[in-house]
Structure 1
Amino acid sequence: MKIGSALILALLASAAAPANARDLLVSDPAQFRAAVKAAKPGDAILLADGEWRDFQALFVGTGTATKPITLAAQTKGKVVLTGQSNLRLAGRHLIVSGLVFKDGASPTAEVISFRRNSSDLARDSRVTEVVIDGFSKADRRAEDIWVALYGTGNRVDHSHFEGKTNSGVTLAVIRKAGDPLDNRHRIDHNYFGPRPPLGSNGGETIRIGTSEESLSDSHTLVERNIFDRCSGEVEIVSVKSGGNIIRENLVLASQGAFVLRHGNGNIVERNIFFGQGVPDTGGVRVINRDQIVRDNYLEGLAGTSFKSAISVMNGVPNSVINRYHQVANARIESNSIIDAARITFAAGADAERSAPPVDSRFDRNVIVGAKGTDPFRAEGAIGGIAFADNVEARVATPLLGAGVEQREVTLERGANGLLYPTDPALAAIGAPRDLRPVTRDEVGASWYRSTAPEAAFGAGVTRRVAAGASLAAAVAGAQPGDTLTLATGTYDIPAPLTVRHRLTIAGAKDAKPVLRIVSQLARIVGGGGLRVENLAIDAHAAGGAGPLIAIEAGAAPNYAIALDGVSVRGPAKGRLTGVAMAPGTFADDIIIANSSFADMGVVIDGTGEQEPKGWYPMERLTIADSSFAGVGMLADLLRKGTDESTFGPWFAMTGSNVVDSGTDGVALRISGAQHVRITANAFAKSGAIAIIHSVGAPDTRISGNSFAATPAPRVEELVYKGPLRADLSNNAMEARP
């Protein structure tokens, strides 16, 4: 008799008569399914230790409050669901614990789902001490949700979520349009670990509801979680329903904010934000009616506008449900806002968002601006906000008068690690003294810590490759973080090198290696990226069919490319692209420094993302102290759409020279970037700089450059109807002789 059949018969026999709670150890999917059918209240189904590959588990049953049915690992952390795996649970009083999802991705739209189907939901059930680490679809545009909370009365606690790189919310409360439930879920004591920028809308860490049913209450509680570097998009926690409480969470160096996007009567209280000066770190954004933001501590937040420490938005008159309802009856009180770049009122005011906040209050807050500056900004009318009993560290020209006292404020760090005024008269102003930041030991699965991230450039060993040796063989044998050092001489590259992890190829000190390219230098197919240093690339014989470095579909998001001290000679202007990335890939950084490029087409081609949703191919592109001669374009970077949910792209170019370059009158085109800095460069006999503003509130500065026989920079506003939003100062223009 097969083991599976024996187990089934034993379970059926034991189910025929009353029995005490049982531990049912199962070793394969068939045994698991049989155990689920036979499980009674109080039973525990234990998955045997080991790897469960391509395991799509359906856990259904009806336990009781005192005798739940449990699905657990035989040993916590020793059961790993890999490949195309996921879990659905439905019924009542179920518990799932001890599982790890890693090295794969769900074949469906959810990894863990609190439902079997649209009518069979989980209620009064719990997922605890579960890990989802890097369980992301390869194409970042492919959307899924890691934990989808349906039903009512469910809890997700003491779990570990880290490394989501594809589109979709990490944890979402799903409320059916037209039939929104009073969910009363609890999300507590979880570790939400690093989530890198997605490069599009759809990268929230938690979302509670969606706009369609947002005017009803969910009553979900989010408390005592840690959000560590959760930077998927501008909304870390997106509240799109009413009656929720966001309480006592710790937010560390996370770009974005807690956003009361839709819904009324939410409370954000006793949370602690440490921005650590990271760009775009924010606090709380307020929209809609009856929102309360109180007793929070916010320190070192560098975000502005929508990502300010506190942002109170303008609304749309008679707004449709998915736009911006007017702020009314907001209460922002007893918060400490320390070392903050910005507090913004009437944020986003424009021709559409013309309804200012009304009947709102800002009381008993302590404000200390970053570097002694006044953080307050008003982007529209703020007469509907009353100010009382606030204290601001003295600034020379404060924006606000009545209700905000200017005085000297001396701060001292308390036993809880937070800064408080030393003056006893201010003891009742700002965040309460009894705040206790949640600690790492209190959250997540105590038995799990994530493995080391992809090795950094140069973190591995250094391997010497002699001139004339096979560089392809050396690359194939390299480990993550290794450096291949090259001697003086020529290295022939007859076919592109395949790079699967972070790798550095560098000329040895005082050496002068030359890479002779027949078609392409490299293709990035896995994770990591490529750094090339101190060598020459001779591509005059390249046919131009592909780019010098190709980022291929399926390459892991958040890779990096760096060219430092590199000279590249192409076959002719317009034929060879430098770096090109396939749609669906995403770079944290592309850096060109101390390098030269001649006789090429587009050096950085970032136009692969053509969808209107707002995808873009890289977070940051930096060009410094480099030269370009006879190239089609330095860079062509495209970000479509008008969505305001992203931080980038960022583009910076300094100290570089451009001669005889440009295609169709353009030498550099940056479209849809949020931050542009082009300073101290020299352009001669070249096409223009073209900057296209299409989204958000872009910050563009083109200053201190010289343009000889080159058109003046052009800045185009695609949507915005106001004055030009760019600093084009102190540039020297020299006409053609």
Structure 2
Amino acid sequence: MNNNIAVISGLLVLSFICAASSAKDYEVADFAEYQSVVAKLEPGDRVLLEDGHWRDVEFVFSARGTQTNPITLAAANPGKAIISGRSNLKLAGEHLVVRGLVFKDGYTPTDSVISFRTAKPKSAEDYSTVAVNTRLTEVVIDDFSNPDRYETDYWVSVYGKNNRIDHNHFSFKRNKGVTMAVRLDTVHSRENNHVIDYNYFGPRPVLGSNGGETLRIGTSHFSLSDSLTTVAHNYFEHCDGEVEIISNKSGKNVLKNNVFFESRGTLTLRHGNGNLVEGNAFIGNGVDHTGGIRVINADQVIRNNYLSGLAGSRFGGGLVVMNGVPDSPINRYHQVDNAMITGNTLVNVERIIFGAGSDEERSAVPSNSRFIGNTIINESMMSPFELHDSVKGIDFAENRVNFEVEEALQGGFAKISNVELAVPELPVKKSEVGVAWYPKYEKSDRFINGKSVSVAPGTDTVIEAYGELSSAGELLLDEGDYHFSKTLMLDKALVIRGAGKGKTRLTFARKSLVDMLNGSALRLQDLSVSGLRAPDDKANAVIRSDSKPMNKNMQLELLGVEIRDLDINKDFDVIKLRKSTFADNVVVKASSFVNIKGTVLKLDTEKDDYGMYNAEYINVENSQLSNVTGGLMAVYRGGTDESTFGPHVHVDRVSLESSPAASSTSSSILLHGVQRGLIENSKFDNSAPILVRHTVGGPVIRIEDNVYKNNPLYKVESVVSGMESTFTANNNSLLGDQP
């Protein structure tokens, strides 16, 4: 051996041993101690946060480790250092590790909870304020959400280069803004070679607005830049924020071996070219709006993915190939060109769409593309293909199906029979992602497992019984009269169950019977409510959402309920959801509404026309209205944004008499911007027409099998000029005047 080489090797080993032996652990108990040590950290050092709540702290972790001796910020005991209040973490430097922290019970005071940058670099050569070669691992961010649902922030903003984000747990981001965003706004963060792997992306509740993506890579402004980011072996569960689960907006990214479980929306190649989508599993189990992959732009490769039980439509379908805009601006839709879609297996996928979004603007059909060697099997043996424009620019070959295909697709598909496809092993298991010491989401009914309490008639007996509940519960009311001298301020899930309509009778003396606070759910069942003792005031309601913005979605149910005599003034609604509040479900069944000077479901307060709305699913069945001057419902979703699925409205077997009167200038039902609506098997007697206002998104509104006494039954208006209407009306019967 060369003696010089031996000496150098020995010196390197000695220097490594010396560096390791000189590394220090700093256990810190408060933020002042943290600040005193962070400035003097050397390679190999560790800062260990002691157990407890670290409240209202803004950590800056700026240091320079080495590849063999990184500098670490960690919980002394993983999961026991809780970062709460108005807190965040900024990283800068190189070879850093952050491990074992939990962010909960608070929100960031800035635009990010964790940022891989302390400030925007001042020059192209200056990397001092960004993090490179840094690892974020075994960190939990759980419901660390701004209390105003439409205040925007990110949970993780990834800048710099060569960073790894792995084995983290992110669940219940409830306010606007991407859960994790890879940012490309300076040269320091492009062609970054980040790896995002083995993370658990838990539920992302429906936002009711654009801005609910779970992961975004780039933005439209920098979408012609390459990111070179790898997203692999992550688990996305119930990520329902909006139509894009992953929004890819840059080039040459690899998205592989991820699982999307019952998540509403798609992996969307929204901008950027040359991306690879490979080996992912999309498991929908028939859940509404579960989607797969949406293809836009050039040189995309989609191969060997498994898609099963996907019920999504339009832009949220199982596999969607978009039309583009000729000579598209950078922020619109670039033409699909040279796409390769091969080796994918689609089982019980309801829709595979080519030319999606085709209209006067989006007229550039896919070109130079191939759809080869895919297998599509449907138990129904019905074709899932929808051709919204020409498919001449796509070469179809060697595909297998178990149904008859459309004429335009003849030649590229072979029909097979008696197919039994084995369900493949998922590319990653839920147990393999995130952290072992923090529980993952398990779906449950909000109303079950609550304590049941019997309540006797009287004044405020219901409110007093509610005060004894520490969590979700059920109040069982006897026959008799119950009066509320105060509004019940509801902050949990509650069932109020009576002995039957007319037997259990509720009155109230304030502007509302119940105010729904953040995170609450209410079911009223088998009882009657009267407004006779309510104050003569404006803006009364039986149930209303809090006047403050919310970030936790509500649930409201009226089952077998009678509401009457809300006529103390001219402004008295049954359910009124206020601005910046949102319900997953509003359900009315087997209920009646009599003599009301307002609207049964007042869901129209989001009138800024930015695509926001108050409720996702509105379902009214087997109910009666008489003399309700505001009609059954007013549902409003304005603007031209295409990022949401709702609102959804279903009305079935409902009778409306003079609700409002036919001579009224109002409407019996207002559907403004509703995306899915079905009004069926209902009777409209001396009642104003249904008013349907189309906005955008290809709404599907159907009015079918209804009986009406006064013309017209409905009016349809288009808010966006030139938009093709998808409204249909069938089998409705006009009775005319009857004796």
Q: TM tier, shorter chain? A: over 0.9
Deviations 1:345-387 (CA, angstroms, capped at 9, x unpaired) = 0111001000000000000000113521101111011100001
Residue 597 of structure 1: aligned partner:
593
* Paired residues of 2:256 and 2:278 also in contact (CA < 8 A): yes
Residue 623 of structure 2: aligned partner:
626
CA gap 1:181/1:138 in 2 versus in 1, 3 angstroms: same
Code of the residue aligned with 2:285 in structure 1: it is Q
Code of the residue aligned with 1:471 in structure 2: it is V
- Aligned equivalents of 1:18 and 1:349: distance in 2? 62
Give the 3-state SS of the residue equivalent to 2:39 in structure 1: helix
Residue 530 of structure 1: aligned partner:
522
The question of 1:462 aligning with 2:458 is answered: no
Code of the residue aligned with 1:304 in structure 2: it is S
Residue 565 of structure 2: aligned partner:
570
Residue 672 of structure 2: aligned partner:
671
Q: CA deviation at 1:412?
A: 3.6
Runs in 1 of length 4+ with deviation above 4 angstroms? 177-180, 396-399, 450-455
Residue 605 of structure 2: aligned partner:
608
- Aligned equivalents of 1:506 and 1:448: distance in 2? 36
- Aligned equivalents of 2:722 and 2:552: distance in 1? 35
List aligned pairs for 1:379-458, cutoff 5 A: 379-395=388-404, 400-413=409-422, 417-418=423-424, 436-450=426-440, 456-458=446-448
* Paired residues of 2:501 and 2:528 also in contact (CA < 8 A): no
The question of 1:247 aligning with 2:256 is answered: yes
Residue 13 of structure 1: aligned partner:
none
Root-mean-square deviation over aligned CA pairs: 1.9
CA gap 1:248/1:352 in 2 versus in 1, 3 angstroms: same
CA gap 1:285/1:52 in 2 versus in 1, 3 angstroms: same
Residue 649 of structure 2: aligned partner:
651
The farther-off stretch of 380-389 and 603-612 is 603-612
Q: CA deviation at 1:129?
A: 0.3
The question of 1:539 aligning with 2:531 is answered: yes
Deviations 1:246-284 (CA, angstroms, capped at 9, x unpaired) = 000011011101000000000000111111111111111
* Paired residues of 1:175 and 1:213 also in contact (CA < 8 A): yes
Residue 66 of structure 1: aligned partner:
68
Residue 52 of structure 2: aligned partner:
50
Q: CA deviation at 1:286?
A: 0.6
Q: CA deviation at 1:715?
A: 1.9
The question of 1:551 aligning with 2:548 is answered: no
* Paired residues of 2:518 and 2:551 also in contact (CA < 8 A): yes
- Aligned equivalents of 2:141 and 2:419: distance in 1? 43
- Aligned equivalents of 1:736 and 1:152: distance in 2? 75
Q: CA deviation at 1:48?
A: 0.3
Q: CA deviation at 1:480?
A: 2.5
Give the 3-state SS of the residue equivalent to 1:570 in structure 2: strand
- Aligned equivalents of 1:29 and 1:498: distance in 2? 37
Q: CA deviation at 1:612?
A: 2.2
Give the 3-state SS of the residue equivalent to 1:34 in structure 2: helix
Percent identity, aligned pairs only? 41
* Paired residues of 1:180 and 1:216 also in contact (CA < 8 A): no
List aligned pairs for 1:23-422, cutoff 5 A: 23-119=25-121, 120-176=129-185, 181-369=190-378, 371-395=380-404, 400-413=409-422, 417-418=423-424
> What is the number of residues matched between the two proteins?
703
* Paired residues of 1:217 and 1:241 also in contact (CA < 8 A): yes
**Residue of 556, 572, 579 corresponding to 1:561:** 556
The farther-off stretch of 554-563 and 480-489 is 554-563
The question of 1:489 aligning with 2:480 is answered: yes
- Aligned equivalents of 1:644 and 1:723: distance in 2? 15
* Paired residues of 1:454 and 1:502 also in contact (CA < 8 A): no
Residue 425 of structure 1: aligned partner:
none
**TM-score w.r.t. length of structure 1:** 0.93
Residue 639 of structure 1: aligned partner:
637
- Aligned equivalents of 2:188 and 2:703: distance in 1? 52
Q: CA deviation at 1:165?
A: 1.0
Code of the residue aligned with 1:596 in structure 2: it is S
Q: CA deviation at 1:510?
A: 9.1
* Paired residues of 1:365 and 1:389 also in contact (CA < 8 A): yes
Code of the residue aligned with 1:74 in structure 2: it is A
Give the 3-state SS of the residue equivalent to 2:643 in structure 1: coil
The farther-off stretch of 174-183 and 483-492 is 174-183
- Aligned equivalents of 1:622 and 1:177: distance in 2? 48
- Aligned equivalents of 1:389 and 1:412: distance in 2? 17
Code of the residue aligned with 1:624 in structure 2: it is E
- Aligned equivalents of 2:160 and 2:609: distance in 1? 34
Q: CA deviation at 1:450?
A: 4.2
- Aligned equivalents of 1:409 and 1:136: distance in 2? 50
Residue 429 of structure 1: aligned partner:
none
CA gap 1:599/1:175 in 2 versus in 1, 3 angstroms: same
Give the 3-state SS of the residue equivalent to 2:586 in structure 1: strand
The question of 1:726 aligning with 2:727 is answered: yes
Give the 3-state SS of the residue equivalent to 2:401 in structure 1: strand
* Paired residues of 1:245 and 1:266 also in contact (CA < 8 A): yes
Give the 3-state SS of the residue equivalent to 2:730 in structure 1: coil
Q: CA deviation at 1:20?
A: 1.3
Code of the residue aligned with 2:685 in structure 1: it is A
* Paired residues of 1:686 and 1:710 also in contact (CA < 8 A): no
**TM-score w.r.t. length of structure 2:** 0.92
Q: CA deviation at 1:710?
A: 4.7
Code of the residue aligned with 1:521 in structure 2: it is L
CA gap 1:207/1:18 in 2 versus in 1, 3 angstroms: closer
Unaligned runs of 5+ in 2: 1-18, 122-128
Residue 427 of structure 1: aligned partner:
none
* Paired residues of 2:161 and 2:189 also in contact (CA < 8 A): no
